[in-house]
């Protein structure tokens, strides 16, 4: 299962398509609307994250999210006018140079309208890595969201007015000035919101996963709990069980996220090279909890097209 940073961002973006399209308009003022203003968008449509691969009939690509925007047409059903493939990226993957362009083509084919890929990579180094991948092919470059598109939100009232944007701002400004004031305002707005407990849990974890220990230490601990029925007293809030548990949980989440990414990258390379996996091979990949082993299989996958040879012992 992905770590809380990736999982939380995917959850946030898939539940707030208007925010996605608002950001899309920052890259292309006419995107998804033609001559119709953004305010004329009537509705948003979320599709399965499966996209048709335009390069190979019958093959399916998987984005983190797929959305379309619709506008009203007199005396007719609403019309799709723009599509976005959402990608949350927290690690490096050179194959994105090819797959992200395929996602854009898949969105266009799926919705039969304009479409593109939008990448949410909150880590500046990771984002820079991907931007450099496309440096020589700007026409193929996806839209990279960065902190300049998300001004700081440091007042609780402002955060409450657009909680989704406030949460995204915290994540993208977690290593910049005003990170802690942004986080505090957003967490306070989150606690005052009417969101259900599961959403609050996911979003609180998202904020926690974005910040460093020293930043978390500057936030009131009561803002880091997400269940109204979970009341912690001063002893619990300062206990080793609680404070060490937060640190251990963050580390466990990071390691699990690395394993998920390693498994996904391996499968992606195998599919890209046309290497078919039988059930036993797939079970070994899905059950592997050793990153070194996954990396070893990955190196073999780049050298041979024989699945049995890739997964031999040793």
Q: What is the pLDDT of residues 168-224, one digit of tens each?
A: 999 999 999 999 999 999 999 999 999 998 899 899 989 988 998 889 889 988 888
Which pLDDT score, from 0 to 100, does residue 244 have? 54
Residue ranges per structural domain of the chain = 4-147, 157-231, 254-310
* Banded pLDDT at 156 (limits 50, 70, 90): very high
pLDDT mean over 278-296 = 85
**70 pairs with which residues across the strands?**
43, 80
Residue tagged 């539940």 (tokens): 15
pLDDT at 85: 93
pTM over 0.85: no
Give the Cα separation of 238 and 247 in Å (integer). Answer: 13
Band of the pLDDT at 73, cuts 50, 70, 90? low
**In the block, residue with structure tokens 């399916």:** 60
| pLDDT score for 37 | 45
- From CA 60, how far away is CA 103, in angstroms rounded? 10
On whether the CB atoms of residues 54 and 105 are closer than 8 A, the answer is: yes
- pLDDT at residue 172, rounded to an integer: 97
| Chain mean pLDDT for the chain | 83
Note the pLDDT of residue 226: 56
């Amino acid at each position: 299962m992905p770590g809380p940073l990736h999982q939380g961002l995917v959850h946030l973006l898939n539940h707030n398509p208007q925010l996605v399209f608002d950001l899309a308009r920052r890259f292309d003022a006419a995107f998804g609307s033609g001559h119709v203003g953004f305010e004329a968008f009537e509705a948003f449509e979320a599709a399965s994250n499966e996209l048709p691969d335009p390069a190979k009939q019958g093959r399916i690509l998987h984005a983190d999210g797929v959305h379309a925007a619709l506008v009203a047409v007199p005396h007719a059903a609403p019309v799709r006018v723009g599509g976005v493939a959402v990608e949350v990226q927290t690690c490096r993957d050179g194959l994105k140079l090819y797959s992200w362009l395929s996602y854009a083509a898949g969105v266009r084919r799926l919705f039969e309208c304009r479409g593109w890929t939008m990448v949410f990579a909150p880590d500046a180094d990771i984002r820079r890595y991907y931007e450099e991948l496309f440096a020589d092919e700007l026409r193929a470059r996806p839209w990279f969201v960065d902190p300049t598109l998300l001004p700081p939100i440091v007042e609780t009232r402002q955060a409450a007015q657009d909680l989704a944007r406030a949460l995204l701002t915290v994540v993208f400004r977690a290593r910049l000035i005003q990170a802690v004031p942004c986080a505090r305002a957003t967490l306070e707005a989150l606690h005052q919101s009417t969101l259900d407990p599961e959403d609050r849990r996911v979003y609180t974890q998202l904020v926690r996963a974005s910040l460093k220990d020293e930043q978390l230490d500057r936030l009131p601990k009561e803002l880091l709990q997400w269940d109204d029925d979970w009341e912690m007293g001063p002893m619990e809030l300062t206990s080793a069980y609680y404070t060490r548990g937060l640190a251990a949980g963050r580390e466990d989440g990071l390691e699990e996220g690395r394993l998920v990414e390693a498994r996904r990258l391996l499968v992606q390379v195998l599919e890209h090279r046309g290497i078919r996996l039988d059930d036993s091979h797939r079970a070994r990949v899905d059950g592997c909890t050793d990153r070194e082993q996954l990396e070893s299989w990955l190196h073999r996958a780049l050298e041979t097209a024989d699945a049995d040879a890739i997964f031999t012992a040793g």
